[in-house]
Structure 1
């Protein structure tokens, strides 16, 4: 998808589709619950301690109205009779409960806050670690904006839940349970009136759960699309400005923002109806209890202090219901976010590392073998890119792969780099199947240089050192000099110069020389070059060509080339078509024999005139 061209009719892959079937929704919900359980399992001790503090705090808090009843029914009459001690003890007890409740509240908030942040940290680590291991096709279909949404807005929703999770849910449930027991002990008749109100409350809660879950799934979907549109527009800002795309992008963003606003409005409307109905039930119940309680006091069936305590408890009874409503609102939003995150974490790694890896021979030679390999991309499994391909590249030999677009050249390089595994057959390095090698061993022995090398923000030295983290400044400088990157000496701070985002401070040719310096520093046995000079001007191409002679010396190399000037340094040329080798020989032999390579070479020569 081009920058800034999001289609409002687009359906995301898997977890971002607007419509979720009931079966898929249940599966995602179960995955989310399992994820939470897995995150909390190592922190069982902290959770148990937080629960203990919460239970004690609720017990202390529930003692307060009983002390009020004691003061009204016993302390005040005793004080009127000249015995102030009972009233004094009741007042002192109430004050002690208040202080203890405040201390326990502070301890609980500190512990639960730390626990929540630990869970968020672990979740963020897992998503980032897992996303880096997923297949390239997943990243190509699952846009960076959606992944950013997972790690920002979705985690913020979970953070909101964790901040009130134990308190909002467990604290409210403990309060409800404790108050219910006390109401039954004080006066079963009035307690029965209160419990009768649970029938409409249960129906309201069930409705709220269903409606809000659907609403918050939509909010997570639309905020992801807003972020996708923003990220694509900013990443493609050159194309946006060059083609005067601003107005169209603003129109698309406006529509996405409207959808996101509407989804949030629907979620808030659902919450407001739920809270309003809960409070209406609570207020009606309180009025009825006040009427019946007054009648029971006048008839002598209930003490005034007991009614006072009952009403105080009843007032506190509906406060937890408000907390539950707020918790459920945060929970539905976080549950939808957890479903999105769980779907990412459940995505299988494209090329899993072997459980019991084999070691490469002590001295790696660099022989690369494709043994009856077949391959089709997951997005089009019916179309075999490589029907059945076999090739051996002897150690130290440089082979150039040429052919029309779609012939299978880049696919071979991706299989050799183990970005994918073949459907059948195997790719071997010195006789060892790549699927049996540890990733670290493979990356030390084989390096791929792409058409557009990626440089990270930071110093040029740091970018070169990606080839071998921990290399000394002298080794980094030697690698830069080996590829003839003389431009480094003209930079303001030399190797310490910040290359800026994506290496924007450097030209395309300079970025490619940096990527070749990485190869020299890494010193692999096998080098894969995918169109390494296709986007360069003639002077830059010549500089890179000169560097390639140094980089490829005494190494096994596969060069994918459209510009046939690169082919001149190859020992052998393979012309590919339809996933098969149609010509094989030295550059001179193929030019002399005619055929596809001679035609490609003639077309290339004509393009230079």
Structure 2
């Protein structure tokens, strides 16, 4: 996992090597986004070049009209002045029409880029392994898809056009000024030196401040999203006051960083005005003296003054839009960091097909650690025959859920191999793997939509009869029929319309319909009350029939349906046997069972 991509987001500054890496990464991403629209981009650039030339031609035409058209008119020849006025009007119309066309073209290019980028972020984050999502909070992902993409959209929609037009405008104005009066051009070039120093100072300072602003904004969004997502915990533990203080601190930090941005503009904008006014004064002085000596036409002087004044106007506009540029650049850094992440559990380059799995599972010399130096499973060996229902019990942190994640291939072992029917899971085609192995977790997540759509999640092509049969098999049909619209009832966001136990029953029906050869139940009955648990026990018998199953449970009532019980401690199996044999013994499971039985009295 990329250190710069994830950990770097928490900091507002980077080392020189990291900054170079980020810059190259962002440029590569930008290049890949521009490549599909390069034809439209070339057309857009051509339009903006021609429209800028048309706009810049105005002062030069005014000079021609004053110095040549007016004298000719005084001599009775109005044709030169009429032609100059016609040319002036024509360039104005052409410039306006091309600006309108350019605006439409630029909008289409920007929307194409944004659609491409938005899809990339969504699709890529789906492909990333569970390890990434467990370390990169949902609030940060939301920030990438919302505030960061909005910053890029603002730049593409308005800021970029101002920057491009402004830069071309300044270049063409300088060229035009040199063509009519090289002395005024030299004066302009001299004042480019303080302008360059001011712009460089602003760039260096604002780049650091804007990056800090993006970090502060992301932290603000993360805190807000996590508070709203965990509002039940907030209410239960009365943490509103503490959250208010923490949020206030984040808001204040965000305000301080924005205040620094304003301070930078408070120096930059007046500096631009001062440089522009001094340059204009010197051009007027030098030109006025030459007009008095007869060495310069009055029309040329007027054009030189207009060009000098217009030259600094885009600089001021670009400064106003530099905010959006820096915000978008920082946002592109964040997004490129996410897109640079690679799945820690990669798909095989040459996958092996397993059309009909039998369900024999083997852990061969498996060692696993979430972090280097912190081994969870040391040299783990286990074989599960096809069709066997195995219960995993043990204290919290014993390694049960880790075992389930390895079997589901949410993670790959550090050493050793996990195999299905003799084939390493790392070699199986992803579709075959997901079809063969399904996990039902304690958190039965339901998506917005109907009950039937949630049951058919693993088999979208399922018929209504198949969906109803799956619900009946796990004991969910009766309560579903009692819902307002039956199987078409919208479960609402995250299944808020049904109880926790009902959500779990729907997830069981989902697993039954998917019909995996290996089923993993990770504390899947923990959220059920006693009546619901008794109801689902019968459904579980149907669900687990003729398939290999691994049941992780603290409730030992669920363990009773297992063929085999494995007791784990510190990543090792300390007991292995049938439920009846282990209960009759004097080991760890017998003690757990006795304590559970006493708790029911």
For normalisation by structure 1, the TM-score amounts to 0.95
Alignment equivalent of 1:94, drawn from 78, 88, 92: 88
Contact 2:12 2:208 in 1 (8 A): no
Size of the aligned set, in residue pairs, is 596
In the alignment, which residue of structure 1 is the partner of 2:356? 363
Cα deviation, residue 72, structure 1:
0.8
Contact 2:366 2:381 in 1 (8 A): yes
In the alignment, which residue of structure 1 is the partner of 2:258? 264
Cα deviation, residue 572, structure 1:
0.9
In the alignment, which residue of structure 2 is the partner of 1:6? none
- Where do residues 184-583 of structure 1 align in structure 2 (5 Å cutoff)? 184-360=178-354, 362-378=355-371, 381-485=372-476, 486-583=478-575
For normalisation by structure 2, the TM-score amounts to 0.96
Contact 1:61 1:97 in 2 (8 A): yes
SS in 2 for 1:376: strand
Measured against aligned partners, the alpha-carbon deviations of 1:240-289 in whole angstroms (never above 9, x if no partner) come to 22333222211211111111011111112212321221121011111111
Measured against aligned partners, the alpha-carbon deviations of 1:403-438 in whole angstroms (never above 9, x if no partner) come to 111111111100011100000111111121111122
SS in 1 for 2:358: coil
Q: 1 CA distance for matches of 2:391 and 2:421?
A: 20
Deviating beyond 6 angstroms after TM superposition, the runs of 4 or more aligned structure 1 residues are none
Q: 2 CA distance for matches of 1:487 and 1:252?
A: 43
Measured against aligned partners, the alpha-carbon deviations of 1:581-607 in whole angstroms (never above 9, x if no partner) come to 111111111122321111111121122
The answer to which of 126-135 and 536-545 deviates more is 126-135
In the alignment, which residue of structure 1 is the partner of 2:596? 604
- Provide structure 2 residue ranges, at least 5 long, that are not aligned to the other structure: 1-5
Alignment equivalent of 2:145, drawn from 131, 134, 151: 151
Q: Does 1:161 align with 2:155?
A: yes
SS in 1 for 2:363: strand
In the alignment, which residue of structure 1 is the partner of 2:170? 176
SS in 2 for 1:234: helix
Q: 2 CA distance for matches of 1:51 and 1:163?
A: 15
Contact 1:13 1:141 in 2 (8 A): no
The answer to which of 312-321 and 160-169 deviates more is 160-169
In the alignment, which residue of structure 1 is the partner of 2:15? 21
Contact 2:13 2:208 in 1 (8 A): no
Cα deviation, residue 304, structure 1:
0.8
Contact 1:112 1:166 in 2 (8 A): no
SS in 1 for 2:551: strand
SS in 2 for 1:406: coil
Cα deviation, residue 147, structure 1:
1.6
Q: What's the Cα RMSD here?
A: 1.6
Q: 2 CA distance for matches of 1:410 and 1:245?
A: 30
Cα deviation, residue 100, structure 1:
0.8
Q: 2 CA distance for matches of 1:185 and 1:477?
A: 83
SS in 2 for 1:396: coil
The answer to which of 138-147 and 555-564 deviates more is 138-147
Cα deviation, residue 509, structure 1:
1.3
- Provide structure 1 residue ranges, at least 5 long, that are not aligned to the other structure: 1-11
Q: 2 CA distance for matches of 1:474 and 1:85?
A: 88
The answer to which of 70-79 and 324-333 deviates more is 324-333
SS in 2 for 1:13: helix
Contact 1:271 1:329 in 2 (8 A): no
